[in-house]
Structure 1
Amino acid sequence: MFDRPCSKVGCSRDAVSTLTYDYGDSMAVLGPLSLAREPHTYDLCAIHAERMSAPQGWQVVRHQMLRDVGSSA
């Protein structure tokens, strides 16, 4: 895809998602891997994206990509 490693220390898997924090709104947003590395974001592999949690009282927003499942006709 974009050949970027997971941001977690010691993890060598490929990143599939990008995590962004909005401190003002106490929100963590996890979405598809961004097109380019951005400052203050974290690229995560599928395992770390699934396990991701936010501080108590924070809202977590998970954007998921829709896959084309094809026609069933």
Structure 2
Amino acid sequence: MSARPCSKIACGRDAVSTLTYDYADSMAVLGPLSLAPEPHSYDLCARHAERMSVPQGWQVVRHVLVTDPLPGVVDA
């Protein structure tokens, strides 16, 4: 898969996450980069994914791959 740029204006970093909005449920879903670009989603670099904010009263759902290490867990 070739690299896709971050959707934020003037950001030249490679995207690592995809953000989608569910307006009916006041929810933003941030997950791993989708396999293909979608017209109603936003690809974000690590910096913008980490700093993402939503309107007051909205819920944020962050999906991670099960291969990602859990915070604070060290392999023995």
Calculate the TM-score normalised by the size of structure 2. 0.85
Structure 1 residue ranges (4+ consecutive) displaced by more than 6 angstroms after TM superposition? none
Deviations 1:9-42 (A, max 9, x none): 0000000000000000000000000000001100
For structure 1, which runs of at least 5 residues remain unmatched after alignment?
none
The Cα shift of 1:58 comes to: 0.3
Counterpart-to-counterpart distance in 2, 1:54 and 1:68: 24
The Cα shift of 1:68 comes to: 6.5
Taking the TM superposition and a 5 Å limit, the aligned residue runs for 1:1-73 are: 2-67=2-67, 72=76
User: How much identity, in percent, do the aligned residues show?
Assistant: 76
For structure 2, which runs of at least 5 residues remain unmatched after alignment?
70-74
The Cα shift of 1:67 comes to: 2.4
Counterpart-to-counterpart distance in 2, 1:30 and 1:40: 13
Counterpart-to-counterpart distance in 1, 2:28 and 2:54: 7
Calculate the TM-score normalised by the size of structure 1. 0.89
